[in-house]
Structure 1
């Protein structure tokens, strides 16, 4: 009999997941295909989120979500979390991403300056049944594919590719040692090679170009795009409501108070870094902070960018300070109590991602409107880039879906019980078939929700 590998770095996560695991009997894999019944009103759920957001940015959020069913899907993580809570589940918990749709995978630069492919959004990370992430990914494949004009047969094949790759990689992970599992990652060279060899359409070339271009997305590029300079000093452009320097948002009599608070916040953030990273951070000087609109689902949350300079004007560091609220999953799954939601995001990212930003940290305190909020901090652009999902054709969608499924399995293997998951997904087609049927049905729900959303 083979011996189960000894405890490793993810073992604490597995124990935590086990403590929160549902005590009910695990459902048969075929039951994972069931759609939610007695749904909450999706529009009411989205409206409840608007109450916590900047009111002047809520119309922009709605505009971006209305653009297409896939845009709506991206912004409706809470809706899907509520729906998933009303469906049968495996009861096998992991630290789930919580928002594992196609556009939340991509490339980034590791601390060693290599380019990796991985999950790249962790705002909703929380304990949940592992298949919730798989379902969110598979359904996003179908919704995106239909938006691209791909027929249902090919969309179903692509959703199946995501689930199949997940199953295959998870079963492989169960044969690896703990350390091998922890260090497993997908090199970008392998990604580009697969895409380049199997795709040759003009739209596919734009996908490859987007991944290659990501290597040049860094603080220097952000400096050129987001700032203006008089030759001696750079400052953020004013482009409301997308980009607004802090001094444009506060009354003159509050400016000194706000700048003192900003300095205090960065002092708090500094304490969340390792000692060697603190020394590096200390070599930069804060120049300016601005509020910046990002993403689709995040529009309306408080998000800022901070410009630092080193020894000269051309030696910048641009950090993003993003509001962290409770995960949408926390309403439906018991888990650890997080006193700081920014720390929750950072901890989840470090657990799920193969290698994370050296400036990843968190802070909390009063916002410009006086409310107390949590934030996490990372580099704004550090070789980050995503595939142009809207450019994917049938072959490309299936290929990319499989890549994302494999990547998600690697993250889950690091953050959960890979042995239990591997046993549950099994060798046959039952898991893949159930996820595919769910994805097709949930895409129908999303399209109906989007139609209601745009008809208001």
Structure 2
């Protein structure tokens, strides 16, 4: 073994594993079970209102309406609330590139550049370097909230959350002794999901999800999102969720298109240059993102039957940044793009970033590229546990690319101490989420915030 002062020390597997085990002295694995809100815990509605100060005010009722729908919907939109809660707890100091919002619905299917269908993380708005366990805890908490919402028993709820955390630990320990390129090329192919189905009904659901994802392309979006007006192809008007961008915004998007283009690799710039700008619209997306400036841009290649839809989304400061040391990227769009490229097994060929009007940061990506998300609300206990296991495995693969997998595996160990502790946390935090959801509902009822139901 090399000495700690030796420059080669950070390459020594034994030293890296010892570093992970040493982190147990700072934060014992069993300590992750604890969740008690501090007396000075920020008001969750206040946290959401502060987030909304620089968002489009006319869309904030849509955001609150979506978040009041259920505790799981609240959790989806409350990444900032949970970030503050996690930051109030001791952490391991074992840093990875965090997803920052690793709940169940931020995993899914998408197409690689080679057109293989992969399963992976698929949302990176909050990505930032931080302690690995923050992502694991958010994933486990989302499993617990979803299970309770589906009416599962407490024992089944615990089992599903435990499956996520155990899968993460086992996958990290499997990857720890692997070579660097092996880990980098690790991926979860959609076809490998079928053997995970434990019943014929579950297998049919997986097959159906894969089929639907393969159909979700720009050509499908063309039929769904456009119409011909006065002989010209236009994106449909469906307010408030989808509205024409207007002359100023369309002109701005055309202007900043070249800046975005410059962040792509040369061969991808050449490909992009074969498309022409057709139309643009403002689009409401997600739950936590509602109110942020987001557009879709329709491009045409050979002709209008050869479409490419790109999404242009505002990038803001990550909810993690106020709680952690400074990251390597000043531009928020660059942060999102770099984080996605690091965490995903294969990336969108049109992923790029730039600054827009008023200095706002944006990133660009394909709107639909065989993307698919599981119907968590319809899952029975067996299916949810299997899906939680899959998400835990995918999260470990992403963290293994960006952090010290050997140190993390050393910290986690061979026993299930970490798994059980994080599961305890997840169940307690699910209670907190239900309470916070009720708090938001009370604020809506009292007129403190306005919600637009059903949007």
Q: TM-score scaled to structure 1, two decimals?
A: 0.90
Aligned: 1:277 with 2:273 = no
Shift of 1:34: 1.1
State the partner residue of 2:66.
64
Shift of 1:50: 1.2
Q: Secondary structure at the match of 2:360?
A: strand
Shift of 1:373: 0.8
The alignment covers a number of residue pairs equal to 424
State the partner residue of 1:184.
186
State the partner residue of 1:265.
256
Aligned: 1:314 with 2:305 = yes
Aligned: 1:29 with 2:29 = yes
Whether the aligned pair in 2 keeps the contact of 1:126 and 1:335 (CA below 8 Å) is no
Shift of 1:127: 1.0
Q: Secondary structure at the match of 1:43?
A: helix
Correspondent of 2:92 among 90, 93, 98: 90
Whether the aligned pair in 2 keeps the contact of 1:165 and 1:405 (CA below 8 Å) is yes
Correspondent of 2:115 among 110, 113, 116: 113
Whether the aligned pair in 1 keeps the contact of 2:268 and 2:349 (CA below 8 Å) is yes
Whether the aligned pair in 1 keeps the contact of 2:193 and 2:206 (CA below 8 Å) is no
2: distance between equivalents of 1:143 and 1:134?
14
Correspondent of 1:132 among 125, 134, 142: 134
2: distance between equivalents of 1:408 and 1:47?
30
- Uncovered stretches (5+) of structure 1, i.e. residues with no partner: 12-22, 248-254
1: distance between equivalents of 2:47 and 2:24?
27
State the partner residue of 1:373.
360
Q: Could you list the per-position Cα deviations for residues 74-106 of structure 1 after superposition, in whole angstroms to 9, with x for gaps in the alignment? A: 000000000001112211111100000000000
Shift of 1:313: 1.4
Correspondent of 1:349 among 340, 343, 346: 340
Aligned: 1:199 with 2:199 = yes
State the partner residue of 1:402.
389
Whether the aligned pair in 2 keeps the contact of 1:425 and 1:431 (CA below 8 Å) is yes
State the partner residue of 1:234.
233
Shift of 1:40: 1.5
1: distance between equivalents of 2:249 and 2:219?
27
Counterparts of 1:245-256 in structure 2, within 5 Å, are 245-247=244-246, 255=247
Whether the aligned pair in 2 keeps the contact of 1:53 and 1:301 (CA below 8 Å) is yes
Whether the aligned pair in 2 keeps the contact of 1:211 and 1:387 (CA below 8 Å) is no
State the partner residue of 1:18.
none
Aligned: 1:363 with 2:354 = yes
1: distance between equivalents of 2:230 and 2:175?
53
State the partner residue of 1:15.
none
State the partner residue of 2:317.
326
Q: Secondary structure at the match of 1:382?
A: coil
Shift of 1:201: 4.3
Shift of 1:233: 3.0
2: distance between equivalents of 1:73 and 1:319?
27
State the partner residue of 2:380.
393
Aligned: 1:411 with 2:416 = no
CA, structure 1 residues 242+89, in 2 after alignment: closer, same or farther (shift >3 Å)? same
Shift of 1:336: 1.9
State the partner residue of 1:434.
421
Whether the aligned pair in 2 keeps the contact of 1:36 and 1:83 (CA below 8 Å) is no
1: distance between equivalents of 2:42 and 2:209?
38
Which has the higher mean CA deviation after the structures are superposed, 233-242 or 36-45? 36-45
Whether the aligned pair in 1 keeps the contact of 2:68 and 2:441 (CA below 8 Å) is yes
Q: Secondary structure at the match of 1:56?
A: helix
2: distance between equivalents of 1:207 and 1:231?
42
Shift of 1:200: 3.9
Shift of 1:165: 0.6
Q: Could you list the per-position Cα deviations for residues 169-195 of structure 1 after superposition, in whole angstroms to 9, with x for gaps in the alignment? A: 100111100000000001100113322
RMSD over aligned Cα atoms: 2.0
Shift of 1:230: 5.0
Whether the aligned pair in 1 keeps the contact of 2:24 and 2:92 (CA below 8 Å) is no
Which has the higher mean CA deviation after the structures are superposed, 86-95 or 228-237? 228-237
Shift of 1:421: 0.3
Q: Secondary structure at the match of 1:229?
A: strand
Q: Could you list the per-position Cα deviations for residues 52-83 of structure 1 after superposition, in whole angstroms to 9, with x for gaps in the alignment? A: 21100000000000111000000000000000
Correspondent of 2:42 among 40, 43, 67: 40
Counterparts of 1:76-87 in structure 2, within 5 Å, are 76-87=78-89
Correspondent of 2:169 among 167, 170, 175: 167
1: distance between equivalents of 2:251 and 2:70?
42
